[in-house]
Amino acid sequence: MNCICTSMMKTNGCWGAFFARLALGGVMLPHGLQKTIGAFGGNGFSGTMGFFTGTLGLPSVIAFLVIAAESIGAIAIVLGLMTRFSAASLAIVMAGAIWMGHLQNGFFMNWFGAQAGEGFEYHLLAIGLCLTLVASGGGALSLDRKLSSCGDANASSCCSR
């Protein structure tokens, strides 16, 4: 495995990263499935591409990358495969979602229907989980750890063993 790939996959057996991966991937994957196959009341791929490019004005390449990050990236995070890259991608998507659609609605989610839309607190939590995974890698039970020659006990630790 080449050096850059190995360094991106370098991780230790941290269980905190494992739980962060499951939480982030478990929450993001349904959103990705809404955008890809229309699951959970979503618009599917063509509907989402139309919304992103038409209503939001995103270039089609960016719209496609957002859909890929939320679907393929979420699966990769759950598996702990290319965790740092996938988490960084999702952090960028969440920052874009705040900037383009949620910042004007304030911090809080729209629990009582009193706002024009949803706030950005969810997105900040997702970004926090993403940054945790960017810093630590996939942690315990990750494919990154399995595939990386750097996943040994001497790797720097984000938590005590």
| pLDDT per position as a tens digit, 65-101 | 999 999 999 999 999 999 999 999 999 999 999 999 8
Q: For residue 3, what pLDDT is reported?
A: 62
For residue 2, what pLDDT is reported?
A: 61
% of the chain residues with pLDDT over 90:
76
Q: Check: CB of residue 92 under 8 Å from CB of residue 126.
A: no
Higher pLDDT, 55 or 159: 55
Total-model pTM: 0.87
Evaluate whether 30 touches 40 at the Cβ level (below 8 Å).
yes
Residues 6 or more apart whose Cβ sits within 8 Å of residue 125 = none
**Whether 123 contacts 102, CB under 8 Å:** yes
Q: Which two tokens stand for residue 72?
A: 């393929």
Q: What is the pLDDT of residues 115-151, one digit of tens each?
A: 889 999 999 999 999 999 999 999 999 999 998 865 4
Sign of CA dihedral 134, 81, 14, 149: negative
User: pLDDT digits over 101-121, tens only?
Assistant: 899 998 998 888 888 899 999
d(CA 161, CA 58): 45
**pLDDT value, residue 156:** 47
**Tens digits of per-residue pLDDT, 33-61?**
999 999 999 999 999 999 999 999 999 99
- Spatial distance between the Cα atoms of 103 and 124, rounded to a whole number of angstroms: 11
